[in-house]
Amino acid sequence: MPNIKIFSGSSHPDLSQKIADRLGLELGKVVTKKFSNQETCVEIGESVRGEDVYIVQSGCGEINDNLMELLIMINACKIASASRVTAVIPCFPYARQDKKDKVGSRAPISAKLVANMLSVSGADHIITMDLHASQIQGFFDIPVDNLYAEPAVLKWIQENIPEWKNCIIVSPDAGGAKRVTSIADRLNVDFALIHKERKKANEVDRMVLVGDVTNRVAILVDDMADTCGTICHAADKLISAGATKVFAILTHGIFSGPAISRINNACFEAVVVTNTIPQEEKMKHCSKIQVIDISMILAEAIRRTHNGESVSYLFSHVPL
């Protein structure tokens, strides 16, 4: 493809390489380093004048450093006369801070701040996947393509769970009801949800199951799991309610703090995540983690965007 350049940030070079390979392109030359005072320095190692530039950087690992690196890379390309700069952010940082959670709260809406920072740095377009809250698209005044892992999840279920026709799709919280009903409808199976009450962040007080999982394979579906307290409690709840097996399928496997030990001690057959976040290190410590590669979805979105085509095909299909 002419007039296109793909650069990788340092958060997920493996995914960037897979995207570039899928498109038959070489990753652009970029040198990232830190000064002794920990300021980030980025040097773009080739001309981007008049080019359609895509910068792949996920919101994971050292999130603040990686976000700053992305902003600097966007700005470096923009002031080097790139014709368009697209930030490909598989896992959007600060997406959980998308609203004031209490009336009269002085909490920030950090997702809006990140949107402003990306726009001011010079981004012309954003490609991301499974935003924690879809209203984040409205925080931008530039185009945002929010892709879905759902087609890849459906494919994984049909190929890897022999009893999938007798399964039940379960949301670990009421907020994910729309997501699980969509998957359940497309598989033509039932769904259930778990209502959870939190006293404070990352700590669940109690759970109530709404739906019948007796003698069925339960598949927990969520957009992300951080410390995994919720999904591990949910798995225990499903087994105690009569489910024969429990799988968890998550788009963004953050797995911080005690997450890995909780998964190892929980009753999951498998915890399936996409590679929007690198999982190699975590898989060394947890044999239950399996990965769905979504690089072909992001690569196809880049190809279609570059060629001026619609990406809506990707909302219901996995590229071959």
CATH 3.40.50.2020 domain residues, the chain: 4-147, 150-292
Please state, in angstroms and as integers, the Cα–Cα distance from residue 92 to each residue in 14, 15, 97, 247, 298, following that order. 18, 15, 11, 25, 14
Which has more pLDDT, 203 or 318? 318
Determine the distance from the C-alpha atom of residue 109 to the mean position of all C-alpha atoms in its chain, rounded to a whole number. 19
The DSSP symbol for 14 reads H
Q: What is the pLDDT of residue 176?
A: 87
- The pLDDT tens digits for 209-242 are 999 999 999 999 999 999 999 899 999 999 999 9
pLDDT score, position 117: 98
Token duo for residue 91: 């896992």
Question: Which pairing describes strands 190-200 and 203-210: parallel, antiparallel, or unpaired?
Answer: antiparallel
Beta bridge partners of 160: none
Question: Where residue 15 falls among pLDDT bands split at 50, 70, 90?
Answer: very high
- pLDDT of 174 reads 82
Question: Closest Cα to residue 194, out of 209, 212, 214?
Answer: 209
**In CATH, which of 3.10.450.50, 3.40.50.300, 3.30.1360.120, 3.40.50.2020 is domain 4-147?**
3.40.50.2020
Write the pLDDT tens digit of every residue in 99-114.
987 766 788 999 999 9
- How much of the chain, in percent, has pLDDT values that exceed 70? 97
Instruction: Quote the pLDDT of residue 103.
Output: 63
What is 245-304 written as a DSSP string? Answer: EEEEEEEEE---TTHHHHHHHS--SEEEEETTS--HHHHHH-TTEEEE--HHHHHHHHHH
Q: How confident is the model at residue 26 (pLDDT cuts 50, 70, 90)?
A: very high
What is the pLDDT at residue 199? 63
Each residue's pLDDT tens digit, 61-79:
999 999 999 999 999 999 9
Tens-digit pLDDT profile for residues 152-205: 999 999 999 999 999 999 999 888 889 999 999 999 999 999 987 666 666 656
Q: Which of 51, 58, 57, 56 is nearest to 78 (CA)?
A: 51
- CA-to-CA distance for 45 and 28, rounded, in angstroms? 7
Average pLDDT rounded to a whole number, residues 138-144? 96
Determine the topology of domain 150-292 in CATH: Rossmann fold (3.40.50)
Q: List the single range of 23-32, 101-110, 128-137, 209-218 with lowest mean pLDDT.
A: 101-110
Average pLDDT over residues 19-26: 97
The mean pLDDT of 236-259, rounded to a whole number, is: 95
